[in-house]
């Protein structure tokens, strides 16, 4: 479903795109609206809206001058794209997107991927499945989901090397050791997010030609995007870097700056994720 207003011109001389797992849009509507109004982003990919289309807060975005497309099937998952530089050719799920089904149960398609063309950029808002545990049925589902998407992503830039594509969202993978606060804890504990299979699935996008647009501008350990609510992870600086903007070669050439808005993780009612913002040159 799509709703919106007439598009306006983005930042003079450039465009800001961002991704943010809001962990329930209706519960954080005031914070999201305030952030949109002060951040001056042009496109926001949103994950974990946790609502259906019929109870999505359309007016939140319209009041701030954004067109918005949403894909939500239940009170879980849910993805959206908000744009003030155009919102065209909306696509829900990618071709062949794997459904989830436990052995002996019916398969269910989940609201985890939505795309739209915004100011000439093909934006995908992605909420990659959480593997939950190394031996959980969600793990092969996660790997298959990523492998299917990567196959399409590689083909898109093979067919059009100048294609401007942004794969944005919560990837539920920490691809490097310093993307978690204690890699030994994760490896010795047999935790997800850092397993060889998950990291290989992420690396396959880089091998296909996509680039992490934020990391060159936000190097070093401690640049996390997620902090669990439990055990005071945020004040202890015990976080994970699992939210990414992967860009096609043509889009990567336009990246001029990026930052993680850690301040948005502070205060009452914050999401457990912080927005990741990438600045692009050109209109």
Encode pLDDT of 181-217 as tens digits. 999 999 999 999 999 999 999 999 999 999 999 999 9
Pairing of strands 79-83, 88-92: unpaired
Residue 267 domain boundaries: 2-281
With 90 as the cut, is the pLDDT of residue 103 above it? no
Give the residue-averaged pLDDT of 135-148. Answer: 96
pTM of the shown model: 0.94
* Site of tokens 């001056």: 40
**Which pLDDT score, from 0 to 100, does residue 3 have?**
54
**CA dist list (Å): 69 to 46, 73, 231, 271:** 10, 14, 35, 21
**Which pLDDT score, from 0 to 100, does residue 6 have?**
34
pLDDT in tens, 213-268: 999 999 888 899 999 999 999 999 999 999 999 999 999 999 999 999 999 999 99
**Which pLDDT score, from 0 to 100, does residue 65 have?**
96
* Site of tokens 């850092």: 194
**CA dist list (Å): 50 to 27, 74, 123, 280:** 9, 7, 20, 29
Give the residue-averaged pLDDT of 102-122. Answer: 91
Name the domain count of the chain. 1
DSSP string spanning 5-26? Answer: ------STTEEEEEEEE-S-TT
- CATH number assigned to the domain comprising residue 122: 3.60.10.10
Torsion of CA 78, 83, 88, 93, to 10 degrees: -20
């Amino acid at each position: 479903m799509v709703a919106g207003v007439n598009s306006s011109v983005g930042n003079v001389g450039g465009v800001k795109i961002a991704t943010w797992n809001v962990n329930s849009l209706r519960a954080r509507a005031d914070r999201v609206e305030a952030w949109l109004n002060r951040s001056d982003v042009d496109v926001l990919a949103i994950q974990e809206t946790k609502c259906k289309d019929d109870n999505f807060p359309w007016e939140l975005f319209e009041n701030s001058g954004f067109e918005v497309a949403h894909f939500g099937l239940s009170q879980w998952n849910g993805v959206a794209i908000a744009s003030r530089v155009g919102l065209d050719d909306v696509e829900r799920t990618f071709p062949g997107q794997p459904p989830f089904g436990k052995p002996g149960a019916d398969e269910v398609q989940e609201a985890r991927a939505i795309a739209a063309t915004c100011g000439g950029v093909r934006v995908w808002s992605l909420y990659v499945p959480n593997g939950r545990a190394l031996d959980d049925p969600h793990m092969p589902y996660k790997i298959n989901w990523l492998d299917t998407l990567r196959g399409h992503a590689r083909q898109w830039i093979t067919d059009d090397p100048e294609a401007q594509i942004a794969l944005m969202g919560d990837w539920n993978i920490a691809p490097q050791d310093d993307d978690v606060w204690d890699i030994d804890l994760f490896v010795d504990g047999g935790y997800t997010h850092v397993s060889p299979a998950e990291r290989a699935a992420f690396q396959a996008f880089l091998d296909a030609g996509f680039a992490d647009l934020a990391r060159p501008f936000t190097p070093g350990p401690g640049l996390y995007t997620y902090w669990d609510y439990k055990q005071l992870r945020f004040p202890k600086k015990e976080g994970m870097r699992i939210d990414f903007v992967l860009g096609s070669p043509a889009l990567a050439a336009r990246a001029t700056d990026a930052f993680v808005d850690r301040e948005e993780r502070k205060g009452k009612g914050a999401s457990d994720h912080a927005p990741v913002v990438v600045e692009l040159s050109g209109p």
